[in-house]
Amino acid sequence: MCTTCGCGGDGARIEGAAHGHHHDHDHGQSHAEDSRTIALELDILAKNNAYAAENRSFFAERGILALNLVSSPGSGKTALLVKTIGMLGGRLKSYVVEGDQQTSNDADRIRATGAPAVQINTGKGCHLDAHMVGHAVERLAPSEGSVVFIENVGNLVCPAAFDLGEAHKVAILSVTEGEDKPLKYPDMFAASDLVLLNKSDLLPHLDFDVAETIANARKVNPSIKVLQVSARSGEGMEAWIAWLTAARGMALAGYPLGTAAE
């Protein structure tokens, strides 16, 4: 999928990928001229956006729903995925791209469910970008009509700025993190279409105000949807599965009938 790849230099490692292509920008024999000013209007994230567009058309051509899961570390992204994949069971094939700075722990947890997973280690990098994800998806080779979950690096800041080609960003916020998170990290909540308010099983032990959290999220993004869930107890998971199924319906719209793996 990476047709115009400028790989190397970003320090990310994709599990199992021998990253062959190198790319050196040889400056040729151009001659120095006098100092001049060049006017440009170039979006610095344009390259990421171009890779994201490639990923998006890869998914669209195959009727695949791709979701980008974003949150602070430890909100329960992997736990939710494990639970979700279990509930989807044989109904819907799931694939997972796992992003962490180090370790393949999360990909191992996913593979234990039977779902294919590829781990990306970003090293010092604090977010996934569309280029790494394109290579990871290439390795995963997801089947037509499936769901690809991309678990981003635990970080509520910059993953907001990097389009990966997903249909939706889903923000996971656990009830131990405080009601003010949507206001403190507004970019992430502005970029997401859904919030999963996780660890709801802990609510009886906390004085976390769910209504205030939802109100804060809506100040930043008036159309954002919020579902209260628990990966531990399973509470609210049906509503999330229903949202997922509807989103998948959208991904399949226009996709040739009868060819999707139902």
Partner 1 sequence: MHEMSLCENILGILKEQALAQNFEKVTRVSVEIGSLSCVEPEALRFGFDVVMRGSLAEDATLDIIETEALAECLDCGATSAIAERYDPCPMCGSHHRKVTRGEEFRIRELEVN
Ligand X SMILES: Nc1nc2c(ncn2[C@@H]2O[C@H](COP(=O)(O)OP(=O)(O)OP(=O)(O)O)[C@@H](O)[C@H]2O)c(=O)[nH]1
Beta bridge partners of 91: none
How far apart are CB 74 and Mg ion at their closest, in Å? 8
How many Å from the N-terminal Cα to the C-terminal Cα in the chain? 25
5 binds Zn ion (CB under 5 A): yes
What is the residue type of 111? R
Using CB under 6 A, pick the residue from 8, 73, 89, 114 that binds ligand X.
73
Nearer to ligand X, 168 or 199 (CB): 199
How far apart are CB 224 and ligand X at their closest, in Å? 19
Buried b (16+ CB within 10 A) or exposed e, 36-55: eeeeeeeeeeeebeebbebb
198 binds ligand X (CB under 6 A): yes
How far from 153 is each of 76, 140, 209, 256, CA to CA, in Å? Answer: 12, 19, 27, 34
Query: What does 32 interact with, of Mg ion, Zn ion, partner 1, none (CB < 5 to 8 A by kind)?
Result: partner 1
How far apart are CB 52 and partner 1 at their closest, in Å? 13
**Around 157, how many Cα atoms within 13 Å sit in the side-chain half-sphere?**
2
- Tell me, rounded to whole angstroms, the distance of Cα 114 from its chain centroid: 20
Helix (H, G, I), strand (E, B) or coil at 77: helix
Helix (H) or strand (E) holding 238: helix 237-252
Point out which span in 39-47, 66-74, 132-140, 158-166 binds ligand X (CB under 6 A).
66-74
27 binds partner 1 (CB under 8 A): yes
Query: What does 7 interact with, of Zn ion, partner 1, ligand X, none (CB < 5 to 8 A by kind)?
Result: Zn ion
Residues that bind partner 1 (CB under 8 A): 6, 9-10, 25, 27-28, 30-48, 124-127, 129, 157-158, 160-161, 182-183, 186-187, 190, 216, 218-220, 222
